[in-house]
Each structure stands twice: as structure tokens, then as C-alpha cells.
Amino acid sequence: MEAETIILASTSPFRRQLLENAGLKVEPVAPEVDERAVEEALEGSDVNAEDVAQILAEAKAVEVSERYPGRWIIGGDQTLSLGDEVFHKPKDMEGARRHLLALSGKTHQLNSGVVLARNGETVWRHVSIARMTMRPLDPAFIGRHLARVGDIALKSVGAYQVEGEGIQLFEKIDGDYFTIVGLPLLPLLAKLRELKVIDA
């Protein structure tokens, strides 16, 4: 069976790499979705951080699927929650420093949503959760760490990449690697096989 090229409604190099490493043919397409506007519209409602990840993933997948009829679209999004607080990607290195100070010595939750859409309709949705326990971090160490890793700290909601030096920030992780990187790959692959999009 000739593998179908699936559209990834994301420009994340991490999500694309995960899918390509799994043997999928992927075409990335940037979704035309204002994530902050979606999140602001949800403020004051009783949606939690897991719901927000799924809603954003769905908004991206459905928007791209309307522009590419007949194609399978994967949308993904990730939120980080510490208690009731939801974190966003830091805007600058000072924001990254504040993120790491807030997360230091605590357990936060990464919520990774994934959605399959086709022809403007959601076909399947899923959220996986990872619980991340950061070791207590000395503020001076945080400064040195951010100076070493540079702007890559601004590319994730937690200001870290566990696939790189960010792993040194943690003392315990409960959850699978794919959820942490931002795409719950095992349930996604299972659904693609069930739908006969990929070879089973």
C-alpha cells in the first residue's frame, strides 16, 4: 500500500520529526489560527488546561482541513498547567527565567492534545498527560542554563526541551516521551491504522 502524505497543521519541527521517524510522509502547513484569541475567548469558562490543548489542536486541524479537502490533517497543541495556572510560551529570556523559577521544585502537568480532521470535520481527538517534577533550581543556575541553551528556551511552554539540556532540570517524569515533546504518538498511530490511513 502506497503511504498517503498526511498534512501536519503545525510548523513544529519536533512534531514533524516524530511523525517522520515513525515512517509517515508528512507535509507541514501553518494553521491560520490566532491561538491567543482562542484562549482569551475561553477565559472565564470552566474549561481546564487539558480542554484548552484539545480545543487549540482541533482549531488548527479543522482550519487546515477546510483548505485541503480530501486530505487527512493532524493538529496538535500542548498546554502546561501548574495547579490552576496555565503557562504560555515565554516571550523573551526574562519570561523563560520566570517560568523556570515558578516551576522549580514543583510538579507541573503537560497536556498534549492531538486531533485528526478531514473536510472541515473532526474525526478523532485525544489528550495525553505527563507529570513533570522539576528539581529545586538555584536562580544563578537558571541564568547560566538559559545562557547556554539560548533562544530554544522560547520554543516551548515550559521554557525547556527534555530532548536536550532541559532534561537536567528534572528529578522525576511520569508520562511518555511523545506526550512530553508535544504529540501523543502511540494513540495517534493506532487511530491512523484503524482508519486505514497507514499500513496496519
Active site residues: 77
CA–CA separation, 179 and 130 (whole Å)? 7
CA–CA separation, 121 and 117 (whole Å)? 5
CA–CA separation, 18 and 30 (whole Å)? 17
CA–CA separation, 45 and 30 (whole Å)? 28
Assigned C-alpha cell, 176: 511518555
Q: Around 68, how many Cα atoms within 13 Å sit in the side-chain half-sphere?
A: 23
Assigned C-alpha cell, 16: 514533524
170, 162 Cβ separation under 8 angstroms: yes
Assigned C-alpha cell, 143: 541564568
